[in-house]
Structure 1
Amino acid sequence: MVTRTRFDDSECPVARSVDAIGDWWSLLIVRDAFDGSRRFGEFQRSLGVAKNILSARLRTLVAGGVLESVPAADGSSYREYVLTPKGKALFPVIVALRQWGERHFFASGEPHSELVDRRQGHRLRALEVLSADGRRLDPDDTIVHKVSAQ
């Protein structure tokens, strides 16, 4: 079996974030949690993933503090998975991936799901990266600055 490269001690926040999430199954689990899935069976039906893979990904997300396993809200013996504050902080990441996918992987007029504002029913405005003073930034407007130990 191939050993997975770890990035949990990398100086790069992107590498550490990818290391924490693990793989695409995990992002889809987080997406489903935002959409209201809470139980193992709900995630399994939505994703069609093998139970052993789902179990492993859920364990990793719980261990990483992205999800929490809690007693079922209905009082049954089941466990449910809920997003922690750390998990909820992934919302802009999921929205960014969704909007990128809508823009680059669907033909004009091709049907797909949409994320809308619950209160007003309108589609979300495209995410933008803004400077501290509110200017819109593109990749050419930024550089990576290494922060040294203090």
Structure 2
Amino acid sequence: MAYWLMKTEPDECGIDDFAKAPDKPITWDGVRNYQARNFIKEMAVGDEVFIYHSSCKHIGIAGIVKVVKAAYPDPAQFNPKSAYYDEKSSVEKPRWQSVDLSFVRKLPRLIPLDELKALSGLEDLALVKRGSRLSVMPVSNEQRQIILEQVN
């Protein structure tokens, strides 16, 4: 099993959206960065994902979801009415990938970015590095344990 962190704006798709229908997977679409897309391609069913709320009043890790369907072509790239439409992408050669995610749990409290930056052992986590803007990133098992120790 691998571990990941995905950034989202909670008013678009936050941990509460997953919690509302815990048995209904949500398609994670709209990723338009090649490195983030490549990480999505590496995800496997059962992988755990930290949901990180960004661009909002309370920024931080809010909960955990899991991958329930591995990478497949992002359907939004083919829909001209979608904000994520990509005219250069084709069914034969899709450029972008999606995964389906399901709710695992909401954390008892949000772990803010400032707290994450101060934790020893997270220095190599892309999230806390200056200038890192990736929306999808790997989390090592050691980093996962450090993060979970903050709420368990």
TM-score for the superposition, normalised by structure 2: 0.28
TM-score for the superposition, normalised by structure 1: 0.28
Q: Which has the higher strand share?
A: 2
Larger radius of gyration: 1
Q: Which of structures 1 and 2 has the larger relative contact order (alpha carbons within 8 angstroms, sep 6+)?
A: 2
